[in-house]
Amino acid sequence: MLTRLHMPAGKAVALAAMPTAVLMGMGLTPQLAQADPKNPGPFKPGKCVSQPDEADEKEAEKAEDEAAKAEKEAEEAKEEAAKDKAGDTPEPSGSASPEPEPSGSAGSGEEEAGEAEPAPSESGTKNPLDPLGVGDALGNLFGGGEDEQPADEPSGTGEPEASAEAGAEESPDAPAPEDGAGKAVEDTVGGLTDGAKSALEKAEEKAEKAREEAEKAAEGAGSAVPGADGLQPFPCPEYDPQALADAELEKTPLLPDDPWTLESSKLSLHGLDYQGIVKVKTWSGEVKEVLKFTAKGVDIKDLHQLVVGPNGTTSHVKAAEGSNSTIRNGEVTMYTEELKGNLLGIIPITFSPKSPPPLNIPEVFFTQVTVKQAGQFGGELTVPGMHLYNEA
């Protein structure tokens, strides 16, 4: 085939990397369905997000629970403060109620005086030495009863009147203790209100602090919760020492010592399946870890393949500018050392054995992509306007 295509021997290195591919310089083949760059899928544009481990998730959940609890306490404190404020409002009827007390005390004195007045008349009619009252009559005749009557009157009415007057004199001063008690109540209520305000402020501060801690915990855990637009961050590839340790040697032909490089403005992979980290062996006996992919079809826009040649030279296989090269008619197996580009055109990403793909996406594309392939097998490669040249 090299003779038929009139290719220099150095170009055979490029074919060695894809031994079963057939280069059809100007051929055109139908394209498979491609991912729509205007609808890249469920992922948010921008950098990938590290996935939280179990400890981080628990810490984030704990912080969220504490934030919810603190907010509940703040609400309860607000309700208590509102109740206290409503209970502190004074009622006019309650403050005026003590005033009628003086009139009651004076009235009771008058009643006692009224009841005590008949006492002198009863004592005068029941003299055992003068049952007929002759002595009283004679006393009245000579004026002696006038001296006795004033002496008897104070015994019946003097004490009640004095008590009534004392009650009347004391009654104006009665509200004074009430004023002191009212002031004490006000001071107490004021203290309770200040305490409620302080408790409310502390509860609000606690709630705010808990919310901040919950947000920090979520950020530290690399939360991949979808946003308002329903898009979620793409998970970052992470180093997996166990996967590297478990990698097995593939039964493939010996591969070139140096990988070949593919550059493309857009690489679309159809029916893609990531099969994990494996090992391959090169002509020199070197064994290296690679990512193994299989695909049912590949589209390569602006294909540019670079292969390290002898004596420090580089061989180039380049398609016509703006053209779309394809691999069809068979499953393609790719052993990749590194894939770097914009996943779905919006997520800068790099995949390698030390940062393997976190997800297996069957229909995917990369823009501005560079791929370092240890080897590739299967399918028929069609390169429109192929141009081959060497570079020292």
What DSSP letter does each residue of 356-374 carry, written as one string? Answer: --SS--SEEEEEEEEEEEE
> Using 50, 70 and 90 to split pLDDT, how confident is the model at 71?
confident
pLDDT of residue 37: 46
89-108: average pLDDT = 49
- The closest alpha carbon to 269, from 361, 371, 339, 338, belongs to 361
Please determine, for residue 152, whether its predicted confidence score (pLDDT) is greater than 60. Answer: no
pLDDT digits (tens, 9 = 90+) for 193-214: 566 567 667 777 777 877 777 6
Distance CA 227, CA 335 (A): 36
For 8-22, 150-164, 221-235, 313-327, which range has the lowest pLDDT when averaged over its residues? Answer: 8-22
pLDDT of residue 140: 59
> Using 50, 70 and 90 to split pLDDT, how confident is the model at 21?
very low
> Over the chain, what is the mean pLDDT?
72
E strand or H helix at 263 = strand 260-270
pLDDT digits (tens, 9 = 90+) for 312-332: 899 999 999 999 999 999 999
Higher-scoring residue by pLDDT: 79, 292: 292
pLDDT digits (tens, 9 = 90+) for 262-288: 999 999 999 999 999 999 999 999 999
Q: Which amino acid is at 78?
A: K
Q: How far is CA 8 from the centre of its chain?
A: 64
Instruction: Using the structure block, give the residue that is written with the tokens 């990397």.
Output: 17
Highest mean pLDDT among 101-110, 188-197, 247-256: 247-256
> Using 50, 70 and 90 to split pLDDT, how confident is the model at 122?
very low
Q: What are phi and psi of 271, to 5 degrees?
A: 60, 35
pTM for the model: 0.54
Query: DSSP string covering 66-104, please?
Result: HHHHHHHHHHHHHHHHHHHHHHTS--HHHHHTTTTHHHH
